[in-house]
Amino acid sequence: MKRVILTRHAKSSWADLGQDDHDRPLNDRGQKASLKIGHWLLDNGYIPGQVISSTAKRCVETWAGLEQVLKLGITPTFDRQIYHAHVGIMLEKLKTGNADTILMLGHNPGISGFAEELLKTVPNSQNFYNYPTAATTLIDFDIDNWSELQLRSGKLHSFIVPRELGVGV
């Protein structure tokens, strides 16, 4: 069995409207949300063995918040192609995975579209379709190797948004 944890970056700052989108950091709420999601992952034993992330500052900082809690010592693969990637790119990257559980950090609409395309059955949830910042989906696959991964083959294990963990929107 393989598992992917798909997390949208936490809430970013718009304080500097002239700042390049790729360089936007997390705001205070985003920093709190990344810690809360980290605690949720840890408390439930959802521990990645590999991390693949966009190079955008808000993704890098989301990982830093998760890692502050998880303390895994993993060196993520920060990949510019994940920045606003479409489903095909994310599928290609995930198929090269080498851990049983992989955390992928990305952006909308790509990360939510990828979650939908990976699932056999998509949940009937407005939060899932909106995929708010720091939303996290765990999807399980009955495969032995990531290279076997096919779209619409996954089973939803869990889905959480920061609001459900007490982080205001």
The pTM of this model reads 0.95
Distance CA 134, CA 162 (A): 6
- List the chain domain ranges: 2-165
Distance CA 104, CA 15 (A): 26
Pick the CATH number of 2-165 from 3.90.1150.10, 3.40.50.300, 3.40.50.1240, 3.10.129.10: 3.40.50.1240
155-160 and 136-141: which strand pairing? antiparallel
Among residues 166, 141, 159, the alpha carbon closest in space to that of 44 is found at 159
- Tens of each residue's pLDDT in the chain, 169 residues: 999 999 999 999 888 878 888 999 999 999 999 999 999 999 999 999 999 999 999 999 999 999 999 999 999 999 999 998 999 999 999 999 999 999 999 999 999 999 999 999 999 888 998 999 999 999 999 999 999 999 999 999 999 999 898 866 4
CB-based contacts of 20, cutoff 8 Å, min separation 6: none
Please compute Rg for the chain using Cα positions.
15
Cis omega (within 30 of 0) for bond into 132: no
Residue 18, classed as helix, strand or coil, is coil
H or E, element range at 156: strand 155-160
